[in-house]
Structure 1
Amino acid sequence: MRGQLSRFEVADDATSGDWLLQSGTISSDLITFGPMVYPAYARLNYADATLEDDAEAPTDITLVREMAVVLGTFTTTPDDCYFCVWDGYAGSFLSDEFAGLRKRVQIPGRDYVLFTGPLSALHEWENEFGRGGPAPAPAFMWPRDRRWCFTSDVDTEWATIGAERAAVEKLITRSPRAEKFAPPTV
């Protein structure tokens, strides 16, 4: 399957993810809220309580793609981004294809395979990672310049985006599912 990825590459090494652990954020908060190094945070709610039928709801990755359009305007490196995919998703090719891959971003409680690619490649996320069906959102996503960080854990129904205040304000104005969020302090 590795050879079939077209827009994402396995990172040469996982050290590009070291900054997450070096942020000083305790691991349980890190996997849930992301690194506590930004001046502002937004929460993107995947669930929509106003919808009577979940079939009408956009997929998580659809909502992430919408946020990525905004986030792409708040980085100087939109073509050079990192994407962590949790290696524990059942049914994911990661379980089989990358079982022997030792270069992982490791946070206590979670291991991730690190990919690189352009932010625009999110439009192909389900084709690349979903085996023809829905694919979960990246667990972490950030541009090389680290102007923002997107975090989405398997155990939550929302994602957290840390960024400059202007980026958070723009996210909130662009999506009714985004709101200001104050994660726990370190």
Structure 2
Amino acid sequence: MIFSPCIDLTPAEWIATNPEYWWNLVTLGPTGFPAYGRLRFIPDPAYEGQSEHEGAQQNGPLPDDALSESEQLHLAVQTLLQHSGSPSEGYLLMWDGWGEDQFPDSVLRAPRVVIPNRAYYLCSVSLLDFLSGAVEESWEAETGRTMPLPAFVWPSDRAWCITSDVDPHWAGIGAGQALIDSLLTEPRLDVVRVEIDQKLPFYQ
């Protein structure tokens, strides 16, 4: 099996026991990183209260070569691995709210990582297999369905963490300053810094 559901939830304790308010935790990730950024899957809203539908109309159709959310997430992981020297062993937290039919039976039999208002299944993976698409292919072979976007992705050394909750139009990234800089200079990604106490944008 390319992905391995975890019975021992210890690798996710640093997230499950993090003191950060749950909403900040699931949108930007655990506290303790020197720097944070946002990977914008689509542009930010032009004004407060704008709906995502209105934003899509305003921004116009995506170009033919636009990367999907999954492709953008993969590219971010690839960039972080290249610049961090992190081991290829890593972990995914998969939000249980997608519905049981989205998950392999082996995952559903595993215990869940629970935080306020969210629960996840923990899987250990090779991040290289994740980048190659082998993890998604194995998942789809077992379920017949597309693998949902992971809610959290991190390497075993916890040098960085990407957080992609179901509600925002962006993924939060916690890492060292140099790693955030490497994402800012990747031309195929739309990454911006997150400053302390910055009000973050959301579509209605």
Per the TM superposition, whether the score is higher than 0.5 is: yes
- Percentage of identical aligned residues: 31
Q: State how many pairs are aligned.
A: 179
Instruction: Kindly provide the amino acid, as one letter, of the partner of residue 126 in structure 1.
Output: E
- The alignment partner of 2:93 has SS state of strand
Going from structure 1 to structure 2, the CA distance change for 1:53 and 1:77 (only over 3 Å counts) comes to closer
Q: Partners in 2 of 1:107 and 1:132 — Cα distance?
A: 29
2:184 paired residue among 159, 172, 184: 172
Going from structure 1 to structure 2, the CA distance change for 1:127 and 1:55 (only over 3 Å counts) comes to farther
Deviation, structure 1 residue 154: 0.7
1:47–1:157 contact (8 Å) kept in structure 2: yes
- The alignment partner of 2:97 has SS state of coil
Going from structure 1 to structure 2, the CA distance change for 1:92 and 1:152 (only over 3 Å counts) comes to farther
The match for 1:162 is 174
* Structure 2 runs not aligned, ≥5 long: 44-55, 199-204
Going from structure 1 to structure 2, the CA distance change for 1:134 and 1:94 (only over 3 Å counts) comes to closer
Q: Partners in 1 of 2:75 and 2:144 — Cα distance?
A: 21
Between stretches 165-174 and 34-43, larger displacement belongs to: 34-43
The match for 1:3 is none
1:79 paired residue among 51, 64, 88: 88
Between stretches 112-121 and 55-64, larger displacement belongs to: 55-64
The match for 2:161 is 149
1:83–1:141 contact (8 Å) kept in structure 2: yes
* TM-score when normalising by structure 1: 0.83
Instruction: Kindly provide the amino acid, as one letter, of the partner of residue 178 in structure 1.
Output: V
Q: Partners in 1 of 2:64 and 2:101 — Cα distance?
A: 22
Instruction: Kindly provide the amino acid, as one letter, of the partner of residue 107 in structure 1.
Output: I
* Structure 1 runs not aligned, ≥5 long: 1-5
Q: Partners in 1 of 2:125 and 2:30 — Cα distance?
A: 21
Going from structure 1 to structure 2, the CA distance change for 1:91 and 1:22 (only over 3 Å counts) comes to closer
Q: Partners in 2 of 1:56 and 1:132 — Cα distance?
A: 27
Q: Partners in 1 of 2:156 and 2:34 — Cα distance?
A: 18
Going from structure 1 to structure 2, the CA distance change for 1:76 and 1:92 (only over 3 Å counts) comes to farther
1:80–1:144 contact (8 Å) kept in structure 2: yes
Instruction: Kindly provide the amino acid, as one letter, of the partner of residue 109 in structure 1.
Output: N
Instruction: Kindly provide the amino acid, as one letter, of the partner of residue 87 in structure 1.
Output: D
Going from structure 1 to structure 2, the CA distance change for 1:45 and 1:134 (only over 3 Å counts) comes to farther
Q: Root-mean-square deviation (CA), in Å?
A: 2.5
Q: Partners in 2 of 1:66 and 1:182 — Cα distance?
A: 23
The match for 1:109 is 117
Deviation, structure 1 residue 182: 2.6
Going from structure 1 to structure 2, the CA distance change for 1:96 and 1:119 (only over 3 Å counts) comes to closer
Deviation, structure 1 residue 105: 1.3
Deviation, structure 1 residue 27: 1.3
1:57-96 matches, cutoff 5 A: 57-90=66-99, 92-94=101-103
Q: Partners in 2 of 1:53 and 1:142 — Cα distance?
A: 29
